[in-house]
Structure 1
Amino acid sequence: MVTTLTLQQVDFYEPDNFWIGPRAADLVHLGAKFTPCMRKDRRIHDSIAKDRRKERTTACCIRNDRSGCVQTSRDKCSEVISTWRKWNVSQPGPPRWVADPSAVGSDRSVTQRRLSGSVCGQDPRYCEEPASVFPYEWPDDITRWPVCRRPQWSRKAPDAHMSCEVVGRPCCIGVYGECHITTRDYCDFVRGFFHEEAALCSQVSCLNDVCGMIPFHNPEVPDQFYRLWTSLFLHAGIFHLTITVIVQLFVMRDLEKLAGPVRTAIIYISSGVAGNLASAIFVPYRAEVGPAGSQFGLLACLFVEVIHCWQMLKRPSSAFLKLVAVAVALFTIGLLPWVDNYAHLFGFIFGFLLAYALLPFVSFGSYDRTTKVVLICLCLVVAVALFLGLVVLFYVHPIYECSFCHYFNCLPITRAPFYFLLDLDSGDATLLTLALRCGRRGGGGRLAQRVFLSSRFAHMLAIHFLLAMRYGVTLLPFGSWMAIRPFTPGCAISRLQKTCYDRFKYYFQFSPFF
């Protein structure tokens, strides 16, 4: 059941977790590293602000047969079977008292009529808590209305928007703060967060629902910085946990015997936190869990051990080259999808610096000892400076535009794009998040797009083959039309990609997201 009070077939695609574990949205809710939950993201905040500006123009759409009503815009309210009740100058809403600075005496207020609204199931005149009384009246802006905790709702109310049955409520969908007015059936189907108590999307905080854990101190400013270490103890699935157990059993156990539990814990946690912080900077819109940075910090400890014992080993260069080969192989694996190379790199760097400073060493003479003490102090200073630099990049000067950063984390090795992102948004129909790349002629990077799927299969299938043969662009063959909109995190659009966009806009109904 959808807000049109009809039964419709709805598709919902969700990528499988090949680690055999929870969904990405569930991992975010449990404490995964996810930048939008840790700081105020400009792109997501601008998108939410844009949705609120659109919500100011909505009103209550009431079915003429009084079978239900829903808050929507004018173009989505059928003029044949419904009535769109919008307050305006010719048909104003209820009065409100506002302060009159020019008045003298006890009566310093004047009456004005409301123009923002109406809202299905909510009205300042029908709410006891919080009551709309002067000087605490609700503003003439529905996006600033509070949630009514004690409504005076009645089917016999003279106002149609208060006596109708509200069939749509705010539903938070996806992991980027999206909100849609929809039915509970649809919201449950797409695994969203349904808000029965609210009437407008501006009355809910979808990021709070997605992030979970401790609520934000300010609902508009995410502040869950502690995800940098909580994500170290979460795993994406059974296979992921198995890899961690193997590393800890065969590497970390011997290292703990050598250096002790305190030093090992400092290296393990610090490397993981630093790796997660770097990952949150360069790959902000992917949920990540697991001690990837910590494990590479342990690998760095092996390098430090070889350096410390260089004069005591029979073939030190051979041992060092073996470790280099292992590190190169692991970094190469990190170029594949779902593996975070930024956490690997910075976890390795911090692990090396801290291991050189904390692991016990053998000195050969006073000069060698003095040199190593100086290097220990230098490593500690560099580690602190590097961490502070990452903090500045994360909070003070965040990186929003980086056309080449994704190549270090996921190298595009195929012509036809198939790299699906971890997270999925869903709107009025199926919203599938995927990465598209103009191949063959294109060179250049990926263009993250959002594909809006509808019905009728044949026409879209023909256009799919046309694009694939002519431009090397692959689109999923669902529906007779699709609106291609740049994905919220955004990427730079190359000249060829813009050519693809312009060339086929005759066939598609394009609606740019920004």
Structure 2
Amino acid sequence: MGNGDLERGGATKNRNQGYSQSYYAAAGGYDVEYSDSQWTSWLVPMIIVANVVIFIVIMLVNNCPKENNGVQGGCVAKFLGRFSFQPLRENPLFGPSSSTLEKMGALEWNKVVHGNEAWRLITCIWLHAGVIHLLANMLSLVFIGIRLEQQFGFVRVGVTYLLSGIGGSMLSCLFIQRSISVGASGALFGVLGAMLSELLANWTIYTNKVAALFTLLVIISINLAVGILPHVDNFAHIGGFLTGFLLGFILLLRPQFGWVERHRLPANNLKSKYTACQVILWIVATVLLIVWFTVGLVMLFKGENANEKCSWCHYLSCVPTSRWSCNN
């Protein structure tokens, strides 16, 4: 998954470029300042470290030389010993075998539904199919996750990341039931979705809002478009994005400083001053999120195939062309 930087402007005065801004309001003699850089990002770096460590463990368990002893072509980068990669014809992303990924917790519909292994909805978020897959996702997390954590703190970003990953796994399992799926892309798309809803919910405090919205929509569209290629689980992307989009309205609301200016209130009264529109969005998003997880989990554990209820939805994850087929 690839993405870029989104620059947001301050409401009245911007001291630092990008996400680090200060907002000022004259409030009864108080010079009110709100800084986006009030949090130190530690959770996102820890997530990145955890993903790298888990990938190393996966390669240790995979042990390509032992499993492929005597096979023509052999392992890639044999000088790495038991950490060498599977033959490229099997895994072109420089990673382990599918059987190793399945053993370590990859998402697999039959095991989740009939094997009482619902934990795979979470473990698959921390697994990656190869070095290329891992680097793409972790670089994306660096660009979007650290800055969001600086603005909103580790709790809200952590909840958004984890629930979005589960939402992506859930939709993936409902539509893809003949193969395994791994990766943090669903969680990353959730963070992108939360950024979009945060911008919409806090629209009035931003300058250059149209440019920011356009940039973010282009980034999201490009990443979703990549998902129609074969072997890319776009349902995890879509499920994660929708979950994160709803969570943004719930967790990432900001006080509206115009209210403070009108009522001449000091800074310590900022924390609960939201507009009626924000409150409505919070209520609607909360209801939809509960409905989404309830319906999705009920359908999943009843063993239903969502493709039977949506005959065209499979095109959202793969569009067949003369160069490739989506059947495999």
TM-score (norm 1): 0.42
Shift of 1:406: 2.3
Residue correspondence of structure 1 range 94-173 to structure 2 within 5 A: none
Contact 1:259 1:360 in 2 (8 A): no
Inter-partner Cα distance in structure 2 for 1:372 and 1:405:
32
* Distance apart, 1:398 and its partner CA: 0.3
Cα distance per residue 1:211-258 (max 9 Å; x no partner): xxxxxxxxxxx1100000001111111011111221221110111111
1:388 matched to 2:294? The reply is yes
Counterpart position of 1:404: 312
Kindly tell me: are residues 14 and 319 of structure 1, through their superposed partners in 2, closer, same or farther at Cα, counting changes over 3 Å? closer
Q: Residue deviations 1:90-132, cap 9 Å, x none? A: xxxxxxxxxxxxxxxxxxxxxxxxxxxxxxxxxxxxxxxxxxx
1:254-290 CA distance string (max 9 Å, x none) = 1111111111110000000011011001011121111
Residue 401 of structure 1 and its aligned partner are, at CA, apart by 5.5
- Aligned partner (choices 267, 273, 281) of residue 160 of structure 2: 267
Query: Does 2:91 align with 1:17?
Result: yes
2:326, 2:242 → 1: CA distance?
A: 28
Paired position in structure 2 for 1:507? none
Of residues 340-349 and 369-378 in structure 1, the stretch that sits farther from structure 2 once superposed is: 369-378
CA distance in 2, matches of 1:375, 1:314: 21
1:348 equivalent among 238, 241, 245: 241
Is 1:285 aligned to residue 191 of structure 2? no
Whole-angstrom CA distance in 2 between matches of 1:312 and 1:287:
43
Trace 1:148-297 onto structure 2 (pairs within 5 A): 222-297=115-190
Query: Where do 5+ consecutive residues of structure 1 fail to align?
Result: 1-9, 41-221, 422-514
Give the letter aligned to residue 101 of structure 2.
L
CA 1:417–1:249 in 2, change beyond 3 Å: closer, same or farther?
A: closer
Looking at structure 2, the residues matched to 270 and 386 of structure 1 have their Cα atoms a distance apart, in angstroms, of 12
SS in 2 for 1:338: coil
Q: Which residue of structure 1 lines up, in the alignment, with residue 193 of structure 2?
A: 300
Q: Does 1:374 align with 2:268?
A: no
- Match for residue 35 of structure 1 among 88, 109, 133: 109
Match of 2:100 in 1: 26
The TM-score, its normalising length taken from structure 2, stands at 0.65
- Say whether the 8 Å CA contact 1:278–1:342 is kept in structure 2: yes
What letter is aligned with 2:281? L
Instruction: Please give the root-mean-square deviation of Cα atoms over the aligned residues, in Å.
Output: 2.4
Give the Cα separation in 2 of the matches to 1:289 and 1:347.
13
Contact 2:171-2:235 within 8 A present in 1 as well = yes
Amino acid at match of 1:240: H
Partner SS state of residue 339, structure 1: coil
> Does the CA contact (< 8 Å) of 2:124 and 2:181 recur in 1?
yes
Q: How far does the alpha carbon of each residue in 1:416-467 deviate from its partner, in whole angstroms, 9 at most, with x for none?
A: 655573xxxxxxxxxxxxxxxxxxxxxxxxxxxxxxxxxxxxxxxxxxxxxx
Cα distance change, pair 287–279 in 1 and its aligned pair in 2 (3 A):
same
What is the alpha-carbon distance in structure 1 between the residues aligned to residue 231 and residue 324 of structure 2? 15
In 1: Cα distance, 2:299 partner to 2:156 partner: 28
1:372 is paired with a residue of what secondary structure?
A: helix
Residues paired across the two proteins, number: 229
Alpha-carbon distance in structure 1 between the residues aligned to 2:128 and 2:276: 43
Q: Which has the higher contact order (CA 8 A, sep 6+)?
A: 2
Distance between the aligned counterparts of 1:417 and 1:242, measured in 2? 25
Instruction: Say whether the 8 Å CA contact 2:202–2:253 is kept in structure 1.
Output: no
Q: CA deviation at 1:307?
A: 1.7
Pick from 296, 313, 321: which aligns with 1:413? 321
Out of 207, 214, 238, which is 1:321 matched to? Answer: 214
State how far apart, in whole Å, the 2-side matches of 1:314 and 1:276 are. Answer: 36
Helix, strand or coil at the partner of 1:365: helix
Aligned letter for 1:373?
Answer: V
In the TM superposition, residue 299 of structure 1 has moved relative to its aligned partner by 0.6
Q: Bigger CA drift: 376-385 or 362-371?
A: 362-371
2:32 is matched with which residue? none
| Amino acid aligned to 2:319 | L
Q: For residue 379 of structure 1, what is the amino acid of its counterpart? A: A
Letter of the 1:405 partner, please give it.
C
1:362 alignment counterpart: 255
Between structure 1 and structure 2, the one with the greater Rg is 1
Aligned-pair identity in percent equals 28
- Rounded Cα–Cα distance in structure 2 between residues aligned with 1:417 and 1:374: 45
Contact 1:308/1:362, CA 8 A, preserved across alignment: no
Aligned counterpart, 2:227:
334
Q: Which runs of 5 or more residues in structure 2 are unaligned?
A: 1-70, 73-86, 261-272
1:135 matched residue in structure 2: none
| Corresponding position of 1:122 | none
Pair 231,370 (structure 1): closer, same or farther in 2 beyond 3 Å: same
